[in-house]
């Protein structure tokens, strides 16, 4: 049965690419009476618009030249019949049936139905409106920006974005790539009004990563009554993937060894630079997220003498890098590692069966082919490795630009994972977790409060704690990333006027 639901993080959900979605659409259309899917899509759009804006005085529906426009025609038909003041614009002629033949068959029929019902069609948007529906392109966002009607599309989107009025996007916001979350260069994702997106038939990856989260706003979903479920192209993490509360659920006979050891190597200190804080943040995060014991090995000419105890967290135990038992500990390496991390990486890569690499460790590997060879060899030895790059670090590892990374985050993360035989956490809005042989995951949690120094170090420590607690590398990465973002979301709810620091994040 067809049902409109608001996206929540309660459970992990399947995501489907445009190609898979189109195949599902064709299969479903072949099994249903003609025009059924578009009628269902239009009705769902109209129902959601009415629920979101029950008191709207004038609703502007902007329709494009394809089937997304057809969904808009159907929505306009229903809203008009329900007595709403509707103004419909589309990229073809404003009156009569001229130009109708340029539409796809289903959209042609919906166009005719709307006109026959008396839906007002205008050449230009109304001077004033208090709700609008974007039915311009949908998953056709990858189409040629110079296509016929593109001038109107650009002008209308600019008006929507500048109006400050709420907007419901049908399936996918116009110019958003549904596969990647990348906004086409000729467009603008910013908007002063509240945004909603009704994703039809499937949930698309681009709604939840890169610029997609900002562009889509509040996401709703309607499967249009289609229950076929092919293997997903990606998955969206949910609460079922959060870090387990290990201490709460553990048996009474547990001891600190039951929860594993984490060793953090980093925090270079020299006469000119002191980065011990990065290592301490990772170590504290590991401790607060369940590790039984946490060791810290500071690097640099002054590292091993600069700090022998953390006065804020005296439970942390300091060691020299040579004194660590890399074979039995989960090693988190690179947080604030500076140049000194290069000297310890050969041993770490060769000796640590469970390893999280972050920050300067990634930069060192990106610029050293010998270290890359050691990293790739780990997979063949059965060693488990998690890389946690931000887009620029990922770009260095892949030999491309950060813009290239952001243009297709899922693809780049999967390529890096396959190339090095590791789990990759590509950080950013909608962090991507990829691993060879696994369906990649996108994380829906987190917000701009995480855009501050040290939060990445906290995440690395959390991944280490999850691995020390017994989770496999991919699951540990998924759990830590989801929980890390959720902590920032909880902070935003509970302390909306207070900035979040990495130190506070450790304790949320």
The whole-number pLDDT of residue 67 equals 95
Instruction: Give the closest residue to 37 by CA, choosing from 74, 82, 76, 86.
Output: 74
Domain 239-505 = CATH 3.40.50.300 = no
**Is residue 473 within 8 Å of 467, Cβ to Cβ?**
yes
CA distance 125 to 26: 33
**Is residue 57 within 8 Å of 72, Cβ to Cβ?**
no
Q: Domain spanning 4-231 has what CATH number?
A: 3.40.50.10260
* pTM for this entry: 0.95
| Residue spans in the chain of domains classed CATH 3.40.1190.20 | 239-505
The whole-number pLDDT of residue 423 equals 99
The whole-number pLDDT of residue 187 equals 59
The alpha carbon dihedral of 173, 177, 182, 187 has a sign of: negative
**pLDDT one digit per residue (tens) for the chain, 508 residues:** 678 999 999 999 999 999 999 999 999 999 999 999 999 999 999 999 999 999 999 999 999 999 999 999 999 999 999 999 999 999 986 544 445 557 899 999 999 999 999 999 999 999 999 999 999 999 987 545 566 678 899 899 999 999 999 999 999 999 999 999 999 865 565 667 899 999 999 999 999 999 999 999 999 999 999 988 899 999 999 999 998 865 545 554 455 565 699 999 999 988 788 899 999 999 999 999 999 999 999 998 765 566 788 888 999 999 999 999 999 999 999 999 999 999 999 999 999 999 999 999 999 999 999 999 999 999 999 999 999 999 999 999 999 999 999 999 999 999 999 999 999 999 999 999 999 999 999 999 999 999 999 999 999 999 999 999 999 999 999 999 999 999 999 999 999 999 999 999 988 7
CA distance 348 to 326: 7
**Is residue 29 within 8 Å of 36, Cβ to Cβ?**
yes
Collapsing DSSP states into helix, strand and coil, what is residue 174? coil
Residue indicated by tokens 């390893």 = 355
CA distance 330 to 26: 48
CA distance 402 to 396: 8
Alpha-carbon 114 to chain mean position? 37
Give Dmax over CA atoms of the chain in angstroms. Answer: 83
């Amino acid at each position: 049965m067809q049902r409109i639901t608001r996206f929540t993080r309660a459970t992990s959900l399947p995501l489907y690419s445009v190609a898979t979605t189109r195949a599902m659409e064709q299969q479903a259309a072949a099994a249903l009476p003609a025009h059924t899917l578009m009628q269902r899509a239009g009705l769902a759009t109209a129902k959601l618009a009415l629920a979101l804006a029950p008191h709207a005085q004038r609703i502007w529906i902007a329709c494009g030249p394809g089937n997304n426009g057809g969904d808009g025609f159907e929505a306009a038909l229903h809203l008009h019949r329900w007595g709403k003041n509707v103004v419909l614009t589309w990229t073809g002629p404003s009156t009569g049936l001229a130009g109708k033949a340029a539409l796809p068959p289903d959209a042609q029929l919906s166009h005719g139905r709307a006109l026959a019902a008396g839906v007002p069609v205008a050449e230009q948007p109304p001077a004033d409106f208090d709700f609008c529906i974007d039915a311009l392109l949908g998953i056709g966002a990858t189409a040629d920006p110079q296509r016929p009607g593109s001038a109107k599309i650009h002008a209308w989107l600019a008006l929507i974005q500048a109006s400050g009025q709420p907007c419901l996007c049908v399936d996918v916001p116009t110019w958003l790539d549904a596969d990647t979350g990348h906004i086409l260069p000729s467009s603008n994702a910013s908007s002063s009004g509240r945004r909603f997106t009704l994703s039809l038939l499937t949930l698309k990856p681009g709604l939840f990563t890169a610029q997609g989260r900002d562009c889509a706003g509040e996401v709703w979903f309607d499967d249009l009554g289609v229950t076929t479920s092919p293997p997903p192209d990606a998955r969206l993490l949910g609460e079922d993937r959060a870090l387990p509360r290990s201490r709460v659920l553990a048996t009474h006979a547990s001891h600190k060894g039951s929860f594993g050891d984490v060793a953090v190597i980093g925090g270079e200190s020299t006469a000119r630079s002191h980065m011990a804080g990065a290592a301490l943040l990772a170590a504290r995060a590991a401790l607060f997220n369940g590790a039984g014991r946490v060791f810290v090995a500071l690097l640099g000419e002054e590292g091993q003498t600069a700090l022998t105890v953390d006065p804020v967290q005296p439970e942390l135990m300091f060691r020299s890098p040579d004194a660590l038992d890399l074979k039995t500990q989960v090693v988190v390496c690179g947080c604030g590692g500076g140049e000194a991390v290069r000297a310890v990486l050969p041993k770490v890569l060769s000796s640590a069966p469970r390893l999280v690499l972050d920050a300067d460790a990634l930069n060192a590997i990106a610029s050293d082919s010998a270290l890359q060879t050691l990293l790739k060899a780990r997979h063949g030895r059965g060693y488990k490795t998690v890389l946690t790059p931000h887009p620029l670090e990922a770009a260095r590892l892949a030999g491309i630009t950060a813009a290239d990374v952001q243009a297709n985050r899922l693809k780049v993360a999967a390529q890096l994972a396959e190339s090095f035989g590791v789990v990759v956490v590509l950080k950013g809005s909608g962090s991507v977790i990829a691993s060879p042989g696994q369906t990649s995951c996108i994380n829906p949690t987190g917000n701009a409060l995480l855009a501050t120094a040290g939060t990445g170090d906290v995440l690395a420590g959390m991944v280490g704690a999850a691995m020390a607690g017994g989770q496999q590398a991919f699951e540990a990465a998924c759990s830590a990333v989801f929980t890390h973002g959720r902590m920032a979301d909880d902070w935003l709810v509970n302390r909306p006027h207070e900035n979040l620091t990495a130190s506070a994040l450790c304790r949320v």
